[in-house]
Chains A and B, each alone.
Chain A
Amino acid sequence: MGKIFFLFLLLTTINDKEDEDIKLIDQFLSGKEVGFNRLVLKYQNRIYNLCMRMLNNEDDALEVSQDVFLAVFVNLKKFRRESRFSTWLFAIAINHCRNKLRKKIKEEDIPDNYEEIDLKSPYKILKEKEIKRLISEAIKKLEQPYREAIILRDIEDLSYQEMSKIMKVEIGTVKSRVHRARSKIKQILKRAGINFEKL
């Protein structure tokens, strides 16, 4: 009984969230810009986080997230409400990030064969900061599809279905990409000297 009640609660909260978005969108489409402002304030952190993880550059992330919200402002009329608003928003954001990366591809960071990740001292490995730095470095080193997969799945906590809509690939490929990304990160961390047993 308790489980059912919990499920019911969870569903209602999800529905509430969706309803809130839809209300705000309707408000915006009826001519009140307060709706749009609230949408921006609601999602700005998530979008910025996504852009930051994808692009690894504060200026670029800020620019791209601005572009994303501008695109939302222009195209909100075309939103068909077949999926959640957040899914649609993330799809736009991912597309913008891809475009930015495509432009940036000419000027790329030097690949790892020039130098390995340098560990300052074995002391610091124990420290959380260093580990976090290593993880973000590892995410940075992933190829783009894998990076997208792990960011959407483990950082933004989206479902596989939503991810398939955002990335415009089938669920099977999404699953395999997520798995590969995780195992790659694991390998990189292992190579950097992290002992999983002690963690």
Chain B
Amino acid sequence: MKSCKDYKEMLSEYIDGTLPKGQREELESHLKSCFSCSEELHELRKTIFLVRSLPKYHAPSTLFTSVRERINKRKRSKSSLRSRLFPITSIAMVLIVIAAFFVYRVTPYRTKKYFSSHKKVKPYKQEVKTKSLALSPIKEKVKEAEEKGYAYNKAEKESYPKKPREPTYVKKKIVPKEEVKQGKVLQAKRYALKNEMKKRKKSFYPSKVTKKGKKNIKIMELPPTKTPRVYKRSEKIEERPLKVENRIKKTLNEERMKKEIITSTIRRGETPYKRGLSPTSEEFRYYQGRYKPKRLTKKISEREKRRRIALKYKREKAIAERGSTRKMVHPRRALAPTKERGRHFLAKGSRGLSYIPVIYLRSLSKRLSNNKVLIKMIVKDAGGVLLTEKKGWLKVRIPAARKALFFNRLKKEFEVKINKRTIHDKTEIFVIKWEGKIKAHK
């Protein structure tokens, strides 16, 4: 025997018309006799009707365009140069590496000179260092000593005479007079060569080429000029912010320049009025000796340094002993309930306004007639912290102990939407949202 509960579960399928024939007949016969089941059927039918009658949302016209936009963006990024060249570049890289390896292995000339200069190519001779089989005199002696059965004496080793170095002599050339003349000629030649090199250098840049230079020098190819980067429309040209060091340099420079201007005026014996400085400007005051620019770097004396180090050690020692330098506050003292505060004790920084109705608060001052300010105050009273403040929403962190209090008060006073986000047991994050201006309940 089926109970009413079983039959009720079949109702939904019965309405959809997907119930098998046997079950359907059984249900129909039951419905005739059972009032509650037939009522349930009626109600279900109504609800389904209501749900089906819900208006359908139509997609905004922006949907199609934005989909197309995103697809095009995707295509563009896909067909960008890098991605298109990626397989080719990778293959090319591998080929280059292989080629380089072969070149290195096959060529006999591995010296730097071979690749850098074209004038003279010295064939690379592989020097094979042949180790002489004969042992060094000291080692021989050691071996001898070992064979004979006693240790080699160190003193003997030290006494072994070292090979004397060949003395180096600086030979002074006695130059005959004719050669002196020749030397002068050589010097002149060298000078001419230098000049020519200079001219050659100049010839790289067509604007500076002189007529004389052109005669002697062969036509040389110009170095590749850098093409200026062309920015696309979509690209934003961003100015790079100055680094900290550069900023300091800049300010220092400005300071120096200011000083120079003023000193120059003094040197010339001009009055600041003559230079056209306004009497309220810093330069004017500086000139009159009333203004001193701040020193950017302070010089610290040795004694001061020592004092500071000693202080640091002292502080560290204190921290190690006490645990922290902060003063300890007992948590119960911070949240102690009092007679006035009642059952719900207040947070530490609160001004005790959380029990005063908003209407009264508004009459207190003009600032408190702003709803946002009031909300912030309520947050503060609940011991909360304001995390972010944006147009249309606030994000706050409230201790879990006072969250219900905070929530109820806010809901009672203002027309705002409050979303919750739990972090852990002790605190909770609330997002307070509103549209346009915050409205207060009347």
Contacts and interface: CB of A to CB of B under 8 A. Distances in A.
Interface string B40-51: 001110111011
Interface stretch (A8-16, A80-88, A91-99, A174-182): A174-182
A175 B13 contact: yes
Interface in B57-81: 57-60, 62-64, 66-68, 70-71, 74
Contacts of A178: 12
B17 to A, nearest CB: 11
A48 B68 contact: no
Given A115-B411, A155-B54, A183 B59 contact: no
B67 A40 contact: yes
Contacts of B70: 66, 70
Nearest to B423: A106
Contacts of A154: 48, 51-52
A102 to B, nearest CB: 15
Contacts of B367: none
B47 A70 contact: no
Contacts of A47: 59
Contacts of B246: none
A155 B51 CA distance: 7
B394 interface: no
Contacts of B58: 45, 48-49
Interface string A20-44: 0000000000000000010011001
B57 A135 contact: no
A44 B64 contact: yes
A136 interface: yes
B256 interface: no
Interface string A124-137: 00000001100110
B152 interface: no
B50 A179 contact: no
Contacts of A175: 12-13, 18
B43 A186 contact: yes
B241 interface: no
Given A44-B64, A178-B12, A186 B47 contact: yes
Contacts of B378: none
B18 A73 contact: no
Nearest to B13: A175
Nearest to A109: B419
Nearest to B12: A179
Contact of B47 (A106, A136, A153, A182): A182
A186 B44 contact: yes
A44 B43 CA distance: 33
A129 to B, nearest CB: 10
B56 interface: yes
B407 A114 contact: yes
B113 interface: no
A45 B64 CA distance: 10
Given A40-B67, A154-B52, A179 B59 contact: no
A165 B42 CA distance: 30
Given A154-B52, A196-B42, A49 B419 contact: no
A146 interface: no
A62 B11 contact: no
Interface in B1-35: 9, 11-13, 16, 18
A178 B58 CA distance: 25
A70 B419 contact: no
Contact of B64 (A41, A131, A132): A41
Contacts of B44: 182-183, 186
Contact of B51 (A69, A115, A150): A150
Interface string B247-285: 000000000000000000000000000000000000000
A1 interface: no
B46 A66 contact: no
A4 interface: no
Given A107-B419, A131-B50, 10 more contacts: A41-B64, A48-B60, A65-B63, A66-B63, A66-B70, A70-B67, A73-B67, A109-B419, A110-B407, A179-B9
22 contacts: A44-B63, A45-B57, A47-B59, A49-B57, A62-B60, A65-B63, A70-B67, A108-B420, A109-B419, A132-B53, A132-B54, A135-B51, A150-B51, A154-B48, A155-B51, A175-B13, A175-B18, A176-B9, A183-B44, A186-B44, A189-B50, A199-B50
9 pairs of A and B residues whose beta carbons are closest in the complex:
A179-B12, A48-B59, A44-B59, A52-B57, A186-B47, A154-B51, A49-B57, A69-B67, A107-B421
